[in-house]
Amino acid sequence: MGNLNEKLKLARVRTGLTLPQVSERTGIGVSSLSEFENGKRDPKISQLRKLATTYHRPISFFIDEQPIVEESVLWRAKPETGFEQIERRFLELCHRYSRLESLLDDRIETNLPIQSGTSENYNYARAEALAKEVRNHLQLGDYPGNSLQRVLEEQYGVKVYFRDFLPSGAALSSKDSFGYAIILNPDSKRWRRNFDLAHELFHLLTWDVFRHDPGETSNMAGEWEEKWAQCFAANILMPEVVLKGVIERQRKGKDLTVAMLTDIARLFDVSIDALVWRIHIVYSWGQERTEYSGELIEKAKKAEARLGQRRLDTRPPDWPERYKELAIRALNEGLISVGRFAEYLEISRYEAQKYIEQSEDFSDEEIRFSPA
């Protein structure tokens, strides 16, 4: 198996586990694990499967005679500990999604306006221009917050996951052989998730501008890159011309009220915070009005609660809709086993069998469609 021992050690280290921790999870003795990593002997296939599961890797990673190439992951608010396993879990989900696409020959071309060049002289103007280009390219309309996620997933093949193993406010993105992927915190409000999604989209589009070492993992974006990502997100979700038009229509020559702000925030499906700071920029409020902006945010939040105008929030599903449909199709077409289907959706074999029984109620003989 070639450099199996090197791959076993790398997989363990990149998952942030010690030999005793791996032993506890797999039932394989510490001395045996040490011998595997030192190349003194190879694990049995049954042992290798346990290790692959523990390390969130496909067994092919260890068996195939391929050089070791590690994917890069970009963090926001990376936790101090445990981040290695979160990274591996994220990448495992991405590769599962990609394998389903390959099995069904149903991969969506990621035809996004990917940026190239270097980060030298990057500035806010470039971030704003990119937001305009993306908004037009994706045909998001005047209120992009309402459709951004669906368009990215269904038309451009971006894999968007929501997983509750993330710390509050965290997000990850990655770009590799599986395509483009983002994972967000489902505990955030929908309008906050919209902004986080746009923020991470900037990182994917400018990945090659700010990142040049494909083997470097656990990257953290620099301070200015984060500011430009915020600028991009604000511009793509709240286009200046549209936002000004809505504000002028609401105020009708009068001062903005907190009630108006809550209505506008709902229209663009963004948070009160994001809206006020966007207005701060669009109307060129200077540094002297920064404190005023903060006060306005607090007043709007209180008014929103007092007036009973809290927006209805929806928690995202555990799995991307397209991912789930691909898994069901692969199962129905006999491309994956019931056990693998259960593994992909992280359900029991009994629950997986229910999918088969339900699908058998609809035969291909019942409806046939031939386009003219």
**Per-residue model confidence as pLDDT tens digits over 244-279:** 999 999 888 788 888 888 889 999 999 888 998 899
- The residue that leads in pLDDT, 171 or 238, is 238
Average pLDDT rounded to a whole number, residues 59-81: 82
Average pLDDT rounded to a whole number, residues 132-159: 95
- pLDDT score at 217: 46
What topology is assigned to 104-237 in CATH? Arc Repressor Mutant, subunit A (1.10.10)
Lowest-confidence pick of 47-56, 253-262, 324-333:
253-262
Q: Does domain 1-68 have CATH number 1.10.260.40?
A: yes
Same fold, 1-68 and 104-237: no
pLDDT in tens, 84-126: 888 899 999 999 999 999 999 999 998 999 998 888 889 999 9
Residue 285 has pLDDT above 80, yes or no: no
Three-state SS for the chain is CCCHHHHHHHHHHHHCCCHHHHHHHHCCCHHHHHHHHHCCCCCCHHHHHHHHHHCCCCHHHHHCCCCCCCCCEEEECCCCCCHHHHHHHHHHHHHHHHHHHHHHCCCCCCCCCCCCCCCCCCCHHHHHHHHHHHHHHCCCCCCHHHCHHHHHHHHHCCEEEECCCCCCCCEEEEEECCEEEEEECCCCCHHHHHHHHHHHHHHHHCHHHHCCCCCCCCEECCHHHHHHHHHHHHHHHCCHHHHHHHHHHHHCCCCCCHHHHHHHHHHHCCCHHHHHHHHHHHCCCCHHHHHHHHHHHHHHHHHHHHCCCCCCCCCCCCCCHHHHHHHHHHHHCCCCCHHHHHHHHCCCHHHHHHHHHHHCCCCCCCCCCCCC
Residue 359 has pLDDT above 70, yes or no: no
- pLDDT score at 170: 76
* pLDDT, mean over the chain: 87
* Domain map (residue ranges) of the chain: 1-68, 104-237
Which pTM was predicted?
Answer: 0.88
